[in-house]
């Protein structure tokens, strides 16, 4: 038992060290980062954070990111819930192959695909809009959400559906009153993963956005090339800011996560 705890503590120290280091660096002055190795800042400065939250370049792109990620979560779940229901309840011609094909779409976003991708979204008049990025991210998020939700839904016995229909529930009412509460943990878990993958995606977001909808990941990547080697403190603070919304989401679904993990296959 003791061995186990020591092992876990070591693992978590290794896991958290880079993040701790980033937080510490973000609170140090540039000078301190370069001249000495300190595990705690000698003088704490919030200058980096003040700059991020007052400079419109950073605040705008942060808001852009949040808007399209949330839109993507909504669209993905709206499409994936009925889809996953169909996969879990009915066997239809080619359903297994369809499932595998869906998953392979995670691999498409190699750089070359971005050229026709851009043309497509130009034609749809969705280039440089939040909706455009949200729709594009469905490419890899919908398959993932379907896969996760299908696992949860298959764990719920079919008899529940049948009993509800015999009791005279309409399909919509059954879904809302009976089925939805049962798979709520699954939706929480799926929402978490969908949020995460949309939040961290860069190649598509970079190609499909111009000045209007430019997300945080892209602005950081650009800034990293521009201020190379000089502003590590600011870069560290930006990394911390990038993690915050995710932590908020994890906190929001934390009970579902633990519960969801014990139910479904993800």
191 binds other proteins (CB under 8 A): no
Residue 28 to residues 36, 52, 224, Cα–Cα distance (Å) = 11, 15, 18
The count of other CB atoms within 10 Å of the CB of residue 198 is 26
33 binds other proteins (CB under 8 A): yes
Listed ranges 51-59, 161-169, 178-186, 254-262: which one lies at the site for other proteins (CB under 8 A): 254-262
Could you tell me which of 92, 266, 124 has the C-alpha nearest to residue 133?
124
As a whole number of angstroms, the distance between CA 236 and CA 168 comes to 58
Stretch 77-96: interaction string toward other proteins, x if CB under 8 A? -xxx-xx-xxx-xx-xx-x-
44 binds other proteins (CB under 8 A): no
Stretch 103-132: interaction string toward other proteins, x if CB under 8 A? xxxxxxxxxxxxxxx-xx------------
- Closer residue to other proteins in complex, CB, 111/167: 111
Return the SS3 of 244: helix
Taking the complex as a whole, how short is the minimal distance between the CB of residue 62 and other proteins, in angstroms?
13
- Closer residue to other proteins in complex, CB, 47/154: 154
163 binds other proteins (CB under 8 A): no
Query: Site residues for other proteins, window 50-69 (CB under 8 A)?
Result: none
Question: What's the CA angle centered on 194, arms 18 and 239, to 5 degrees?
Answer: 25
Listed ranges 43-51, 54-62, 162-170, 236-244: which one lies at the site for other proteins (CB under 8 A): 236-244
Q: Are 117 and 204 spatial neighbours (Cβ–Cβ below 8 Å)?
A: yes
As a whole number of angstroms, the distance between CA 160 and CA 251 comes to 31
158 binds other proteins (CB under 8 A): no
């Amino acid at each position: 038992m003791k061995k186990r705890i020591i092992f876990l503590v070591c693992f978590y120290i290794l896991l958290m060290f880079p993040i701790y280091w980033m937080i510490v660096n973000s609170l140090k002055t540039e000078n301190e980062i370069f001249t000495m190795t300190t595990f705690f800042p000698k003088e704490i400065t919030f200058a980096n954070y003040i700059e991020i939250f007052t400079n419109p370049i950073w605040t705008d792109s942060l808001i852009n990111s949040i808007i399209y990620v949330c839109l993507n979560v909504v669209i993905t779940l709206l499409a994936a819930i009925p889809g996953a229901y169909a996969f879990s309840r009915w066997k239809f011609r080619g359903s297994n192959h369809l499932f595998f094909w869906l998953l392979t779409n995670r691999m498409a976003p190699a750089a070359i695909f971005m050229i026709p991708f851009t043309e497509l979204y130009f034609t749809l008049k969705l280039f440089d809009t939040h909706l455009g990025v949200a729709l594009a991210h469905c490419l890899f998020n919908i398959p993932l959400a379907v896969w996760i939700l299908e696992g949860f839904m298959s764990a719920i016995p079919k008899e529940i559906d049948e009993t509800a229909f015999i009791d005279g529930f309409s399909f919509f009412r059954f879904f809302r009153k009976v089925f939805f509460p049962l798979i709520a943990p699954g939706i929480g878990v799926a929402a978490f993963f969908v949020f995460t993958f949309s939040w961290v995606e860069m190649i598509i977001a970079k190609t499909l956005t111009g000045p209007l909808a430019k997300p945080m990941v892209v602005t950081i990547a650009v800034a990293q090339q521009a201020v190379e080697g000089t502003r590590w403190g600011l870069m560290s603070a930006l990394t911390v800011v990038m993690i915050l919304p995710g932590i908020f989401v994890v906190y929001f679904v934390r009970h579902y996560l633990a519960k969801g993990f014990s139910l479904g296959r993800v």
